[in-house]
Amino acid sequence: MGQELPLQEGFLTTRVDAVVNWARSNSLMPMPMGLACCAIEMMAFAAPKYDVARFGSEAMRFSPRQADLMIVAGWVSYKMAHTIRRVWDQMADPKWCISMGACASSGGMHRCYGVVQGCDNFLPVDIYIPGCPPRPEAVIHALMDIQEKIRNQYSVEHDGIFGRNMPNVAANRPTIVTPDGENVISPVELYTQR
């Protein structure tokens, strides 16, 4: 079954995966790993103007045991990398990671012996945000990408068989309806037509 099926008597059938993923994707708690200037934009992301409470992620957690989304913002020195990895290891599974800005993703302008050339050298990064610094809107976009990633995975089976790679289900993107309401086209088709 897999599709939501509204019945006449006010019932709704769904999958456990869909419910778990819905809850997880709307309650991500960021672990702010602010290391340099990008951290200022990350703070703005959580401030009232951008209202990330709309996505259930306004509660920044400074304890790894209460967080499931690490945001690495700023360049990472080799000294700091060990600490970041330790914090990451203390976060409970399932967890996700965003690399924010050019420095976190590639070392940026800091092409030197003391800076790690990308935090994916020691962390499993899910989403990279380009820019120097990225705007808070870009961080929100990355958060939405993480949400979509969570919604399109077999969470229950994956949690039950820890460590086994599960195939992702097909992306559940909405269709796009043209202004005249006739041609319904999926975003995938739209992109491939370009």
Site size with ligand SF4, rule: CB under 6 A = 11
| 42 contributes a contact to ligand SF4 by CB under 6 A | no
Q: Give the amino acid at 5.
A: L
Say whether the peptide bond before residue 94 is cis (omega within 30 degrees of 0): yes
| 138 contributes a contact to ligand SF4 by CB under 6 A | no
Which one of residues 107, 108, 118, 136 is an interface residue with ligand SF4 (CB under 6 A)?
A: 108
CA 42, 45, 48 angle in degrees (round to 5)? 135
| 75 contributes a contact to ligand SF4 by CB under 6 A | yes
| 30 contributes a contact to ligand SF4 by CB under 6 A | no
| 107 contributes a contact to ligand SF4 by CB under 6 A | no
| 102 contributes a contact to ligand SF4 by CB under 6 A | yes
Distance from first CA to last CA of the chain, Å, rounded? 34
User: Which window, 31-39, 117-125, 140-148, 173-181, contacts ligand SF4 (CB under 6 A)?
Assistant: 31-39
Min dist CB 79 to ligand SF4, Å, is 16
Pairing of strands 184-185, 176-177: antiparallel
Q: How far is CA 87 from the centre of its chain?
A: 18
Q: Inter-axis angle of helices 16-25 and 136-151, to 10 degrees?
A: 160
Residues at the contact surface with ligand SF4, assessed by CB under 6 A: 36-38, 74-75, 101-103, 108, 132-133
